[in-house]
Structure 1
């Protein structure tokens, strides 16, 4: 059996190590959004498949027996396509989807369904920390006129897509004390984030709570009806049961 692991998350990394330790035959796939991704202990391909036809051709050419989707919770197009193709081909498919964050005592969250809704909840004189990723920036163009600080992993090769924006280059992990210090130094008044869930991104939310900063939280996109697991252990067990 050859498993295709759609990777790019911390869960995918841990799943790859767990399956490698068990001697499972796994090929990981990374979208290529990060220039220097942490290496995985299994053969890894980088880049897209060339649309649905290319994805089908890859599955056939590599004799893929099952697909485990451990992409980001907001990789909706990839997930929908993968579930659809695997269903049509009769390939076992499961999605690893960690639970979303929920607000707690002291949090000041406003939930939105689309990026263009954010501006209605952020005053014009705000300093906005935009923690939604480089690829989403054009969708937040109506924040123009505010000071917008977008955190990215790699140095940008293009200018900010709208006026008033600046890049903050940093590589995770991000710790609570460092996030608080960063927000203070930059004068951040509002945080915009995706509800990605997981432990890795909680520090910025805790920092916002500690500083009393409002958070505009983007709800997750709708996911396909498919087998779903929440943890690394459940994902490895699903593969072992195939």
Structure 2
């Protein structure tokens, strides 16, 4: 059972912007913390995983809606625990909170770092992948559906984009196809998949965490090169936490 008390005048009101796996654990911890009134907002429902506390999906309707919500609910602090690549939301949240003098924490897990045996090339934009991957190669695209059209530079290769749900339209460029798969995936699963598809390259976002790591472990074992899409720059002037304990310590300091 999840505690869901009505806010009291002396509660610390926290707005949690969720979307990452870390946001789920943090929401659960905050929901049981005495003296906290928690409001959770998601840009969209988290596919395949129920959020552990009541949450509202659908965003705010842009910056004007975000400002209106802040003015109405009057949080004491905001925690941005959206996906590491939710660049627009993170930038907007930081700009508005800094302007209003509202305490803001950016809660984001640590990125992956290459180890012995890894063959990674960092790219800062999808378009850079075309300069690395030769024509005719089979590319496993593990970046998700968002922004897929920016990989149109990979025409002339066979591009396979893994999806959790059935695609709602055709692939946005020639030579591409969707692969419907449901996690979790083990290293052995990924190796069998890459062998079956005859994958030559992986293109991956540096999401960090353990859940999406098996594809990188498989690439290392098979000697496959990886184009690693770097994370967007961190917002300046914002507190940062990589672990649940660091985030809770920040809340305690409020």
Matched-pair contact (CA < 8 Å) for 1:150–1:165: yes
User: Aligned partners of 2:185, 2:170: CA distance in 1, in Å?
Assistant: 25
Q: Are residues 1:122 and 2:133 paired?
A: yes
**1:6-63 residue CA offsets vs partner (Å, 9 max, x unmatched):** 11111111111111222432121111165x4522233211112121111100112222
User: Aligned partners of 1:159, 1:235: CA distance in 2, in Å?
Assistant: 41
Q: Are residues 1:25 and 2:37 paired?
A: yes
Matched-pair contact (CA < 8 Å) for 1:5–1:26: yes
User: Aligned partners of 2:48, 2:31: CA distance in 1, in Å?
Assistant: 18
User: Aligned partners of 2:141, 2:23: CA distance in 1, in Å?
Assistant: 25
Q: For 1:157-196, what aligned pairs fall within 5 Å after superposition?
A: 157-196=168-207
Q: Are residues 1:78 and 2:89 paired?
A: yes
The runs of 5 or more residues in structure 1 that have no matched partner are none
Matched-pair contact (CA < 8 Å) for 2:45–2:57: no
Deviation at 1:162, TM superposition (A): 0.4
Deviation at 1:223, TM superposition (A): 1.5
Structure 1 SS opposite 2:168? coil
User: Aligned partners of 2:147, 2:135: CA distance in 1, in Å?
Assistant: 20
Q: Are residues 1:135 and 2:111 paired?
A: no
Aligned residue pairs total: 241
Q: Are residues 1:53 and 2:59 paired?
A: no
Larger radius of gyration: 2
Higher helix proportion, which one? 1
Matched-pair contact (CA < 8 Å) for 1:26–1:43: no
Root-mean-square deviation over aligned CA pairs: 1.4
Tell which has more relative contact order, 1 or 2 (C-alpha 8 A, sep 6+).
1
Matched-pair contact (CA < 8 Å) for 1:180–1:211: yes
Matched-pair contact (CA < 8 Å) for 1:95–1:229: yes
TM-score (norm 1): 0.95
TM-score (norm 2): 0.90
Deviates more, 1:184-193 or 1:21-30: 21-30
Cα pair distance change 1:4/1:37, threshold 3 Å:
farther
Q: For 1:1-242, what aligned pairs fall within 5 Å after superposition?
A: 1-23=12-34, 24-32=36-44, 34=46, 36-225=47-236, 226-242=238-254
Matched-pair contact (CA < 8 Å) for 1:20–1:41: no
Please list every run of at least 4 consecutive aligned residues from structure 1 whose deviation after the TM superposition is greater than 3 angstroms: none
Deviation at 1:193, TM superposition (A): 0.5
The runs of 5 or more residues in structure 2 that have no matched partner are 1-11
